[in-house]
A and B are shown apart, each in its own frame.
Chain A
Amino acid sequence: MTETTLYDRFERVIDTDPKLVVAVLAVIYLAYIASGVAFGYSLRGQLNSLANLTFYIGVFGMLALALNLHWGYTGLFNIGIVGFMGIGVYVTAILAKPPVAQGGAAQVGGFGLPLGIAVIGGVFMAAFFGLLVGLPALRLRADYLAIVTIAFSEIVRFTMMSRTFQEFTVPDTVLGYDLAADTVGLGGGGGLILNYASPLEALLHALYLWEPYLGFVSFVQANLIANNPRPVVDGVVYGLLLLAVCGLYYWLLTWTGESPFGRVLKAIREDEDVANALGKDTNRFKLKSFVLGCALMGFGGILWYAGRGSITPPSFRPNITFFVWIALIIGGAGSNTGSFLGGAVFAALLYEGPRYIKNLIEVAFNLGDGPGNFGQAMAALGSLDPVPFVLYTLNSISELRLVIMGVVLIWLMHNRPEGMLGHRKETAASIDLSRPGGAKSDAAAADGGDQQ
């Protein structure tokens, strides 16, 4: 029972959600910084890896929160997350990309709209496709939704790759409007080059913070990183921005959950017929929940990919969907705080962790190239030389990551299926539900029950 007492002690110190989040993040960051220092990382490398870590904590936190609305609250088994992410970012890209001059490097152009509008368009389209998928599928039994969503996400990916949609010309005028775009398209297997201003830059411009930001970058250049500090600072600031968006998601979804609306969602998760018998139009509620979640997933996809140089269809394979599911399972479905923490822990330990360790070891010990295949690695191990085997392991770290995830998942299912915080009572009401005006005497309550 020592485990319980330890856990109790932990719970007594960290008694509020903000404290818990800060504590978990602090442990993660301290571990990263400490191991970076131990292996002699440069400041630049250190900041880069932390920015990277923050980025993945942010995106997985967001997506896990959005999935929690579907699965944790409403019991909707959506395994097509990546499809909605893809729609969000592709629509954003097409709307924001500048129109091309014929024969330019970026063959496929876009509508040249401001990035802000393009992002809204992307989120809107993700929601719209959520509606399209949800209208027929949500009327069916739960498992059919799973089949429909994963099929949908693959349809999205194959559409991205298809030659038919690779490129098409846009009429000069549509309904009297002169559109800037000439040729647009999904770019086929080669994807789209995102030749527009970076989202961070666009946002800072919109907030009139671009000049102060450049000033801050030169400050960093003068004092911390002499050589080309922009990418490092960009990464750190973008990561912090993502955490702020996570905060917004958290706030939105907590208010959604702690409301009469959220209560109906919970009731649908438990027993839809009962919700119906109590006068709730469950199809409407399911559809609203599904569409909202899809919009949030679309926005998550945009924030993940829209800042990159290019996007290609292989980034939108179903494995991303399952990563988000693992994050939610770790954190605990049903709890928003748990969802975010699950996203953070997944990003730090399972997604980025192995890669980070690999980088650290490679920087610390110059080990040279590893063996080309498993046979060579084993042969060297036979002659008591472990180095090729270690190198081979390190080089295969991204495949091994999946093995580690599988092991963690099995362990969780066995030992803690409810995740970190899935066991908690998070009351679905906008107010405290205890008896107004204080409790009745307990003596009356004690004999009131007919226990058996």
Chain B
Amino acid sequence: MSEADESAGEPSIPIEDTDEMSTVPLEVENLRKTFGGITAVDDVSFEVEKGSLTGLIGPNGAGKSTTFNLITGMHDPDSGTVRFNGEEITGLAPHEIANRGLARTFQIARELEEMTVLENMMLAPKGQIGETLWRSVTPGVRSDVQRQETQHLERVWEVLDFFEIDHLAEEYAGNLSGGQRKLLEMARALLTDPDMLLLDEPFAGVNPSLEKRLLEHVHELREQGYTFLIVEHDMDLIMENCERVIVMHQGRVLKDGTPAEVKQSEEVIEAYLGGEV
């Protein structure tokens, strides 16, 4: 595929302005989680600054995904706190955390296979009045539901255009290629109007040209004010694109700093690169 130049008329997705957002939307303090005898996450603390693109890296089993799951409520931490926009969200259910504006994607793209791309996208917007059963089946009230759906649909198409997957709109999500699924997942997460996006290995299994496109989208969204925390395996990719890198090893934060700082850290080289460099 020829990488189309970003045209001037590129649709943008402005972030909804939230008043008095703290400059540090995500604060993780002394997070700890054990599974049986294994300590997956051990006393992890870090902060993510507003509008930043922060990378979370580490070798397999370092506890990156578990940390993600603890932040997003998929697992309950044994101890420690997670604060989002100044409010404590530790131990809340995943849907409550999502509703506060912290959206996530999954390591293995989990699109809803037997739903079309459009249905996947329409699912995401928050505050859909038609999600209350009686409203959807009461004659008269249903027209309000339809009106809101029409508004959401417009935004859905905007986002589909932004990610350039509009030609797949009618397709079942299960028929999409791995890379297209990653795009769909990120698009869907965006539609929940998040303040911050947690991307779990968004580039795994994505071909280079699509990877480039995904990265462009990420940078563009960041310029619009979104905050990103990205778990990634690919060291080079993180070093080139993130302004801050958190390195995890055996459940602990090994190093937290700029790519340059991380690269020069003896500990990181030893732990992560196994002394190869």
Contacts and interface: CB of A to CB of B under 8 A. Distances in A.
A341 to B, nearest CB: 20
Interface stretch (B28-36, B104-112, B234-242): B104-112
A259 B137 CA distance: 8
B104 A433 contact: no
A433 B1 CA distance: 28
Contact of B95 (A279, A444, A445): A279
Interface in B109-154: 110-116, 118-119, 122-124, 126, 128-133, 136-137, 142, 145-146, 149-150, 153-154
Find the residue from B110, B123, B172 having the highest chain A CB count within 10 A: B123
B149 A279 contact: no
A288 interface: yes
Nearest to A334: B114
Contacts of B170: 434
Given A261-B130, A292-B133, A448 B119 contact: no
Given A255-B136, A263-B123, A450-B213, A427 B142 contact: no
B273 interface: no
A425 B118 CA distance: 12
B124 A278 contact: yes
Interface stretch (A96-104, A106-114, A269-277): A269-277
Contact of B130 (A260, A285, A451): A260
Contacts of A428: 115, 119
A252 to B, nearest CB: 6
Given A266-B112, A450-B180, A259 B106 contact: no
Interface string B148-191: 01100110110001001111111010000101100000001100
Contact of A270 (B4, B93, B114, B188): B114
A252 B1 CA distance: 46
B224 interface: no
B264 interface: no
Contact of A445 (B146, B153, B166): B166
A429 B120 CA distance: 11
B95 A430 contact: no
Given A282-B95, A433-B119, A449 B180 contact: yes
A245 to B, nearest CB: 16
A288 B133 contact: yes
Interface string A423-452: 001011111011110001010111111111
Contacts of A442: 167
A252 B137 contact: yes
A275 B156 CA distance: 17
Contact of B113 (A270, A275, A440, A448): A270
A435 B117 CA distance: 13
B149 A436 contact: no
B150 A448 contact: no
Given A263-B119, A280-B95, A270 B130 contact: no
Given A267-B112, A274-B112, A262 B136 contact: yes
B24 interface: no
Contacts of A282: 95
B151 to A, nearest CB: 10
Interface string B71-103: 010100000000000000000011110110001
Given A429-B122, A431-B149, A261 B4 contact: no
B18 interface: no
B77 to A, nearest CB: 17
Interface of B is mostly: helix
A139 to B, nearest CB: 12
A436 B179 contact: no
A273 B115 contact: no
B167 A445 contact: yes
Contact of A450 (B98, B161, B210): B210
Contact of B169 (A430, A435, A450): A435
B209 interface: yes
B72 A260 contact: no
Contacts of B209: 450
A273 B113 CA distance: 14
B66 interface: no
A200 B137 CA distance: 27
A270 B115 contact: yes
* Residue of B103, B131, B132, B192 with most chain A CB atoms under a 10 A cut-off: B131
A327 B191 CA distance: 39
Contacts of A288: 133
A192 interface: no
Contact of B1 (A263, A270, A447): A447
Contacts of B168: 449
A347 interface: no
A270 B164 CA distance: 25
Contact of A430 (B72, B106, B118, B130): B130
Nearest to B198: A277
A172 interface: no
A433 B122 contact: yes
A425 B116 contact: yes
B119 A436 contact: no
Contacts of B146: 430-431
Nearest to A266: B115
B188 A259 contact: no
A280 B180 CA distance: 24
A385 interface: no
Given A433-B116, A448-B164, A451-B180, 18 more contacts: A259-B142, A260-B122, A261-B131, A263-B119, A267-B123, A274-B106, A274-B112, A276-B98, A277-B72, A278-B189, A280-B95, A281-B93, A282-B95, A427-B116, A430-B149, A433-B118, A435-B169, A452-B207
**Can you list the 6 inter-chain pairs with the closest CB atoms, starting with the nearest?**
A445-B167, A259-B136, A260-B130, A279-B98, A270-B112, A276-B94
29 contacts: A252-B137, A259-B145, A263-B123, A267-B112, A267-B123, A273-B110, A274-B111, A274-B112, A276-B93, A276-B94, A277-B104, A278-B189, A280-B95, A281-B95, A281-B96, A429-B119, A430-B142, A430-B145, A431-B150, A431-B153, A433-B156, A434-B170, A435-B166, A448-B4, A448-B164, A449-B165, A449-B168, A450-B207, A451-B1
Interface of B: 1-2, 4, 72, 74, 93-96, 98-99, 103-104, 106, 110-116, 118-119, 122-124, 126, 128-133, 136-137, 142, 145-146, 149-150, 153-154, 156-157, 161, 164-170, 172, 177, 179-180, 188-189, 192, 207, 209-210, 213
